[in-house]
Structure 1
Amino acid sequence: MAFFRHLPVDSGMAFVLVQHLDPSHVSILTEILQRATSMPVVEVANQMAIEPDRVYVIPPNHDMTLLHGTLQLSAPEQERGHRMPIDTFLRSLAEDQGKRAIGIILSGTGTDGTQGLRAIVDKGGVSLVQDPATAKYDGMPSSAINAGVATHVVAPDQMADLLLLSRSPQSSLKSAQPAPATISGMNQIMMLLRSGTSHDFSGYKKSTIGRRIERRMAQHNIEDIEVYARHLKSKPDEVHSLFKELLINVTSFFRDPEAFVLLKQEILPQILADKPDDYVLRLWVAGCATGEEAYSIAMILREIMEEAHREFKIQLYSTDLDDDAIALARAGFYPHNITRDVSSERLRRFFIKEDNGYRVKKELREMVVFAIQNVIKDPPFTKMDMVSCRNLMIYLGSGLQSRLIPAFHYALKPGGVLFLSPSESIGSHTELFTLISRKWKFYRTTGSITSHCAVMPGGLSWATDNGAKFPEVQMIKAKETNIAELTRRALLQAFAPASVVTDLKGETLYIHGDTDRYLRPPPGHATLNAIEMVQDGLQLAVRTAFGLAISQGKATLGHEVSFMAGGEARRVILEVRPLHDAESGQGVVLVSFQDLPALPPAKPLRHKRAADPSDLKRIEELERDLSYAKENLQATIEEQQSSNEELKSTNEELQSTNEELQSTNEELETSKEELQSVNEELTTINAELQAKIEQLAGMQSDMKNLLDNINVGTIFIDDHLNVRRFSREAAKVYRLIASDVGRPLGDIKSDLDDDGLLAKAQTVIDTLIPYEREVRTIGGDWYLARIQPYRTLENVIDGVVMTFSNISARIAAEVAEQEVHDIAEGIINAIGKPMLVLDGSFNVISASGAFYHEFGVSPAEIQGRSIHSLGNHQWDIPALRELLETILPNQQTFDGFEVDHSFPGLGHRKMLLNGRRIVCKASGRPLILLTIQDQTAA
């Protein structure tokens, strides 16, 4: 009522009220709410369309959902019992309205609504929860708050302002083109988060981050993101609150049930098909949130092993960034509404029902190791048979997604399985995985070095900064043949000269056309160096032009060269062009050869005069010098070629050595990463063990304080009657000291008068029937000794528990009471007058000996019977009845009441009766003392 009184009638919102109703109860909530608001309040009919500024109330004995803005009614699955109508509606609201959905939890018992709010928050909606201090029943609000799904926790009369504020979008964050101030404010927030929490959220999707920042801004009534950034800087606690807001812990048991059916029926059986019985199955659940998915996989594994009658050792690692979520997962306690996702058979098999929910059994809990891990920057686990990462990558940007997939491939064994959610995929990393199920996103690893390269020096995805760039995956795509491509090829074949493309060292990279006329393999070791393969007559010109292209970047164009090949004179146009490869960033050289027609043979000259002998001699000398120069040049070229061969051989040896060193370095790096992963696993297990040790220490402290404060001596004995543990009070019965732990209890002297308890303890172990009796010590103290079987959590009998409760005070009180009773009875009998003691219902409690003698009755005939029914009802006198009924309530007495009656065996008697009220000191019970005086003789 307080919620609706403060709501304006023109908010533009529709309100749907879902409450817990008795199926047979006629609801009058519609009439009651109409008194608190001017908006129309109607009870929902099936297929009713939602309209703004109206209130809709669920009818009794119906479940309700929302589909395309229309309310759908259905009969509940079970008429009575533990139903969750609020969760049902809120989940459908989240699916139908997405980030426009607003969930409100008001006063109520149980946990209904918690999972529904979780679904709304997952879709980007807002959740309001009533402050438990203002709720008549705080069960539902407390459950939502403890689950971390409450965006705001306020009183009902303050919710209207938050609703109106949430209706107005933060335009600065949702604009398609954010203003520079918005970008600056967002960057400041990212830096504050990174410095305050050591976690970088800059790689997350901006829409996801923006929605959660908006929530925190709305909670503090801040509309400017830069103002909120300054608020973060001045309030370190708000940094932690925003960090918790950004951690998305939305999960459930067996999310996407069909995917888990496929996992049980096909995926896991294929993994386990060829494995020996002692095989260690390793699985990793990344981003496990509160652990539901990890426990779901563990349940399936346990069912598979039981059905196959095989037992494997399971190492199931479950990690998340949120320490609070990990703490909940380790506790293994979940609310009642998990019955929507977990079958009754699995609930019975794997859970223990408690007052407020269900707790996973020890058998299931011990299969999973939970740990805190940042999957983005921490090393991954290795040698996994399966990795499950569901509904994590949908919140990450493409850069982080591209880094995670190779990391998962690196973590998996060859043939291992990657399990993603239906809205996630491996992206462009198709060379790392093969698809198993397109719908449910199961992938199997393939042999690839890409993920291995990603973890080599300089490429570790968890050790590099966010600015690191990774090599693009080369995709071979089929090219479509078209007319333009055919034309280009024909023109190149017909008009382009024969060419060869080399690197800067002359090594051949590509050959176009027929180059056999210009290039030939040299004798000796095979080579692809184009400079060494050039015909002898062309070699000098090619080397010179190649050197200019390399050293000065100058192109040689249209250079005519004549040379002899196979006894034939040839002419060629040589062109050498330096080029730059934009893709590799390296230079290449293009060498082209174009044939020229041969020159016609020279006509013989007509000698007009005889040659001068001196000219002939000079010509011979020049020819001799030219021949000598050619020989020297050829020798120099050969020496250079020999030196180049030697240098090349040396370079190859150095390169081989470098490759060996590189291989060794890679092996060392791989070993290092494996050791790092093993260390991560050990750290994870150590954290889990440390948590268990702390929990065990707390339980031991609680147990010690419990045993010390109940003042009951307790001895725990194993099935061989050896002492396991004992409490302080037990030393008063058995003379136990700390060093007696592990010794047979029969070796310890007791202070009991008659110690036959050990034989009874053995009997309890054999028969499982508890035993108790009262025992007395030599010092006179009395104890109530109990012996009961010792049962483990697995319901296995492993000894007995002996307890000793001191009852000395009770025994003393009983003895004192008996003594008082005996004294009183002696006094009454000594008086010699008939007397009766009656209770409040006038039943006889006791009588004096004189009464038994006088009226000839035994105690069995009168004790416990009403005085009015004694004998032949001689005491059933109306006047006496009236007197007796007035004594106790009015605390009165009567004296000299005369009874004139014929008694069986006594004849006619006259008697005087006197009545007194007495109080039993032990119990405080009021009683009546009735004395009888015979007046017949008188």
Structure 2
Amino acid sequence: MTSVEIDPEFENLLIYLRQSRGFDFTGYKRSTLMRRVHKRMQSLSIDSFGDYLDYLEVDSEEFNYLFNAILINITAFFRDSSAWEYLAEQILPNLIKNKESSDQIRIWSAGCASGEEAYTLAMLMAEMLGTDEFRQRVKIYATDIDEDALNQARQAMYSAKDVQAVPDELRQKYFEILGNYYIFRSDLRRSVIFGRHDLLQDAPISRLDLLVSRNTMMYFNSETQGRILARFHFALNDTGYLFLGKAEMLSMHSRLFTPLDLKNRIFAKALSVNVRERLLGMGNSADDESSSHFSRHLRLRDMGFDTSPIAQVVIDNSGTLILVNEQARTLFALSSKDLARPFQDLELSYRPVELRSLIEQAYAERRPITLTNVERYLSNTESQYLDVRITPLQETDTSFLGVSITFHDVTPYIKLQEALQRSQQDLETTNEELQSTNEELETTNEELQSTNEELETTNEELQSTNEELETMNEELQSTNEELQTINNELSERTAELNRTNIFLISILKSLQTGIVVIDNNFNILIWNYMVEDLWGLRTDEVLTKSIFVLDIGLPIEQLRSLIRDSLSGKKQFQEIILNATNRRGRQIKCYLAITPLLDISIQGAVLMMVDIDKVNSMISTQEIEKRQQQE
């Protein structure tokens, strides 16, 4: 491969980008990188890299245009369809088969750009597991260095042209149409986690079952590719798979991965790689002795951290759990599986104390935060007390690498202090009680003498009370007999009243005349079946209602003065004929007679009403029958 001549001005530009914006492009292929920067410079009519650096210092918005020119985001759904078919038919079934039914499946899409390949993975896994199990078990971490591309990926909104490569069945099942756009299903989108990640500077996501990085490394030089692949090797589980793009090969780094299908660029993690080789690759060092020295120091540091008598965890600045020592694992039931998990997903982040806000406070104030005597409930009866210290881990350039949190168990001291306080209080109480007891003892002796005399008097009173109780018992027996007699009389009167009611109801039913009884407030008390037939309202619909609110064919308002005269006792009998409309809608002449309802006083009024035409018809019919019988 032809080497590219180093341009000092261009290298100064790369250093400036790294220091001012945190983008480290020094590992990219110089030919490709220079070509893209030149293209941006030509659009601004700038000739030299030095002049362009001056332009960046003046115009801060130019950074966005430059990064968009460098970070070309080329991706698509099911790009290189044959490779995806092999992945779906051969790799993913084995991946699922090697996992327990309750185990999580972790996938990383590195260099995800606008998210098409991450959502392609989501569709394939959802098809194999079903949507419910997919939501429970699968986590797809999709990362890129370009924030604009990540924002587009989070929206999951694509044009019809973008989703053209998605099979119709999957498109209908996993996309919702909004206007001219296709939006990936929101319930499955929660399992796809997007975040900014620099493959060279940020720690790799660990415990992966599948790592997809398609045509991302082809922009880096050979040395940088080796460092990235060493990180990928570290990130994968022993049974994990690596899925690369067609433009990428591992010929120079074959010791890290074993090819499963070279045509489709699918590799398995090589298990023969030792720790030294991986550290050398990740540390980018060619010196065996220094790498071994670094490895020994790393193991020594880990052993010292792990054997610390105080529980300690370390979280990086992106909120990921990085280190947990033995004491912390035992204290909070953590395991190696929790490493590289987001700290906010762990119970430790909010119990026994809300740590996330305290971490932010430590970052903001740039100082350690200490909490004392934090109570932690172990069970319904047992508690533990911890001194918690949150210490920000700061580099010399004032940026933060993360935070260290220690948990010092002070339960024995707290319990000892509480026991001491209780003992002092018990001692003071005992002295006071002893003095009080002596005084009470003297008083008690005097009271006992007085009580003895009172007992003798009480005994005499009890004998007298017993005699009174016997007399009261006899009176109660007599009262009980009287109550029994009254109860029998009430039963007889109730039976008589029931017979009277039955008799009255029989009379009302036998009458061929409508009878309505109202109280002094015009509320209906009786509404017999003839009135039901006449006006079409049932008894249960009118009882306790005012007669003047009824909607029937009888002009009730014309009766108001007549009813008032009956209720006031002015008139004992009144009658009137009114034009009305019966329940069948036929015009009739209704005869009404109104009389007061008398008890000791007037309790209401009785309204008798009849259809005159019906009565006349009945009379005529009876006369005809009588004549027929005579003939």
- Using CA pairs below 8 Å that are at least 6 residues apart, which structure has the higher relative contact order? 2
Compute the TM-score of the two structures, normalised by the length of structure 1. Answer: 0.32
Normalised TM-score (structure 2): 0.46
Q: Which has the higher helix share?
A: 2
